[in-house]
Structure 1
Amino acid sequence: MSLNNPVAEILKHHATLVLDGALATELEARGCDLADSLWSAKVLMENPELIYQVHYDYFNAGAQCAITASYQATPQGFATRGLDAAQSQALIRRSVELAARARADYLAQHPQREKLLIAGSVGPYGAYLADGSEYRGDYQLPQAEMMDFHRPRIATLVAAGVDLLACETLPSFTEIKALVALLQEFPSTPAWFSFTLRDSEHLSDGTPLSAVVALLAASPQVVAMGINCIALESVTAALHTLNALTALPLVVYPNSGEHYDASSKTWSNDADGCSLSDKLPQWQAAGAKLIGGCCRTTPADIAAIVKCCY
């Protein structure tokens, strides 16, 4: 089957593909209680229309890609709430349907807008563990078991019609290898891979980024790679490292200028007060082509990026 690359199609006409911003923390800001192991996936069950509204607001801010509310949506996680496999798959499918409806409704009102994408979020095994290990990568599963963990969600996202997968917030090289192997079961589906980092040259688990890039570069389905859910001040150096290692488009969607404490599950303000748009020229110069926001970023932050880019 041939591989469609929607990222390359957009980048033919634009220097930057603007992603959306935070979903979970934006839902919290709108009144959702996400102090829960399911995090934003909980809202798929309780208040899906609010997810639709957040997606719509990001498109309205100028985002060209929505990332689905499936980061922590797995059959294993839903099973802890008594849901069976069919019910879990329906909720994962709902995450795509909500983003697709927001896109359709937005385009109906703004027919001049060009193609808008939907990326199916594939969060790491560490997100399912809900113990902050997506920032450490200190977990191990045999590759076959890791593939079994990710397969149902990816299969459902692909069947629901996502344009590509966002394999994101990945801290573990063994997990990245499992996901690359699993992608081969869906040969017409492209994906980006984005990581959390120990420092500008290493994954959170300590693997050199050079090894990660070499693995991903060998997969024709990987259409972009980069970093997400890291602090603003850590981005530029990491982009320089990646830019020296790959010609693929780099993706970056960091957190706001605030810092997260995984133990207390609280945020604290960073004194430097920088915003995503302040850093944008540095990131573009370092090779970033897909740019958005992760935790604590808002539609206003995405609108500011769009204003700088277009």
Structure 2
Amino acid sequence: MTSQLNDLLEPVSAGSHRRPLVILDGGTGTELVRMGFTNIDDDPLFSARLLSTNPEAIKEVHKRFYKAGSDIVVTATYQASVSGLQKHVGMTSEEAKNLIKNGVLLAKQAAQEVRSECPDRKLLLVAGSVGSYGACLHDGSEYRGDYMGKISINDLKAWHKPRIDILMEAGVDLLAIETIPCLAEALAIIDIIEDIPGCRGWVTFSCKDGKHTCGGDVFSESIKQVMISERVVAAGMNCTSPTYVSDLLESLQSHSFVKPIIVKPNSGELWDTTHRWHGGVKNVSELAKAWTKNGASWLGGCCRVYPDDISRLKNALIN
């Protein structure tokens, strides 16, 4: 890990003082859609498709989030896997590995360019996105978790490990193990990273209400279980409706966690089977102060949370 990340993760005693505020990014894929790349909505690779067709667009999105105030951006590898790139792009295994590595390089280049343009920005880190197995099925099952009864834990580990190895080889600062619907999958991934020297990451669950992950596990118990690992530096929820965040945070209060709690919700809109967003938008910046009072210290957004939303969120928290 970099010294910058080490500074963020200095242990604090429960109740001693507040953790440093860390601003995360928003929805990389949905920002790309807003930029005009609407075809990725129906693509089994989602934003990872542009790693091969328009890498400069991905770098531009990372730069937009950094400039909006994000301290950490997440690579566009959420829906990328070696097997998926082989299947949907026709790449060899080696070509697929190099493309995933390039996803890390693009984020690093974005950080370097923003740092040169804004020398006062010191904390610009890169988290390698490790999406759930369900995300790469391209059927919305990262919001159900029902695939867990159809794949063995050993096969799940065998599927996840290549991408994790590639991201670490490419030099990410940490991993973003995200949109995980089930505790069992999170623990399987943690087993992998515990065998990789220097590997650290955060874990965020997708949640279906104010108490449960999308797969039906109790959220507070899931956070407790993943926080046990020394390799997990922070945990919380992502791509979850802002409506549920306060209740989810409240459910953690009795545990007195000393590691950072992450809140990275979506816009509150719903994604239906026609691959369209609908419903009311929640302003995450208006809710963020309440979330920090309830224990969150790493905050950002997910789908349909754009760079300007991140800018407003940061301004709301520092003013």
Provide the TM-score with structure 1 as the length reference: 0.94
Change (3 A) 1:133 1:191: same
Shift of 1:83: 1.2
1:241 aligns with 2:251: yes
Given that residues 6 and 163 in structure 1 are in contact (C-alpha distance below 8 angstroms), is that contact kept between their aligned partners in structure 2?
A: no
SS of the residue aligned with 2:217?
coil
From 9, 23, 39, the counterpart of 2:7: 9
Q: What residue number does 2:268 align with?
A: 257
Q: What residue number does 1:151 align with?
A: 161
1:131 aligns with 2:139: yes
Change (3 A) 1:100 1:153: same
Q: What residue number does 1:189 align with?
A: 199
Given that residues 19 and 260 in structure 2 are in contact (C-alpha distance below 8 angstroms), is that contact kept between their aligned partners in structure 1?
A: no
Letter in 1 for 2:117: Q
Q: What residue number does 1:203 align with?
A: 213
Q: Distance in 2 between matches of 1:24 and 1:231?
A: 17
Q: What residue number does 2:86 align with?
A: 79
Q: Distance in 2 between matches of 1:156 and 1:269?
A: 38
1:282 aligns with 2:290: yes
SS of the residue aligned with 1:104?
helix
Q: Distance in 2 between matches of 1:68 and 1:111?
A: 22
Q: What residue number does 2:54 align with?
A: 47
Given that residues 243 and 250 in structure 1 are in contact (C-alpha distance below 8 angstroms), is that contact kept between their aligned partners in structure 2?
A: no
Q: Flag structure 1 segments of 5+ consecutive residues without an equivalent.
A: none
Q: Distance in 2 between matches of 1:248 and 1:306?
A: 21
Q: Distance in 1 between matches of 2:192 and 2:154?
A: 9
Given that residues 4 and 188 in structure 1 are in contact (C-alpha distance below 8 angstroms), is that contact kept between their aligned partners in structure 2?
A: no
Q: What residue number does 2:13 align with?
A: none
Letter in 2 for 1:17: V
Given that residues 93 and 160 in structure 1 are in contact (C-alpha distance below 8 angstroms), is that contact kept between their aligned partners in structure 2?
A: yes
Q: Distance in 2 between matches of 1:229 and 1:157?
A: 22
From 119, 144, 148, the counterpart of 1:111: 119
1:302 aligns with 2:307: no
Change (3 A) 1:202 1:274: closer
The percent of aligned pairs where both chains have the same amino acid is: 36
Shift of 1:59: 0.8
Q: Distance in 2 between matches of 1:290 and 1:252?
A: 6
- Number of aligned pairs? 305
Q: Distance in 2 between matches of 1:36 and 1:208?
A: 32
Provide the TM-score with structure 2 as the length reference: 0.91
Shift of 1:5: 7.8
What's the CA shift string for 1:257-291, capped at 9, x where partnerless?
Answer: 32222x11110131xx5301110111101111110
1:95 aligns with 2:103: yes
Q: Distance in 1 between matches of 2:312 and 2:242?
A: 16
Shift of 1:6: 5.0
Shift of 1:94: 0.8
Map of 1:48-67 to 2, 5 A cutoff?
Answer: 48-67=55-74
Shift of 1:15: 3.2
Q: Distance in 2 between matches of 1:39 and 1:215?
A: 30
Q: Distance in 2 between matches of 1:6 and 1:137?
A: 35
SS of the residue aligned with 2:309?
helix
Q: Distance in 2 between matches of 1:7 and 1:209?
A: 26
Given that residues 4 and 190 in structure 1 are in contact (C-alpha distance below 8 angstroms), is that contact kept between their aligned partners in structure 2?
A: no
- Runs of 4+ aligned structure 1 residues displaced above 6 Å come to 11-14
Q: Distance in 1 between matches of 2:4 and 2:120?
A: 18
Q: Distance in 1 between matches of 2:56 and 2:111?
A: 14
Shift of 1:144: 1.4
Q: What residue number does 1:228 align with?
A: 238
Q: Distance in 2 between matches of 1:5 and 1:138?
A: 39
Q: Distance in 1 between matches of 2:204 and 2:138?
A: 19
Letter in 2 for 1:258: E
Q: Distance in 2 between matches of 1:190 and 1:249?
A: 14
Given that residues 264 and 300 in structure 2 are in contact (C-alpha distance below 8 angstroms), is that contact kept between their aligned partners in structure 1?
A: yes
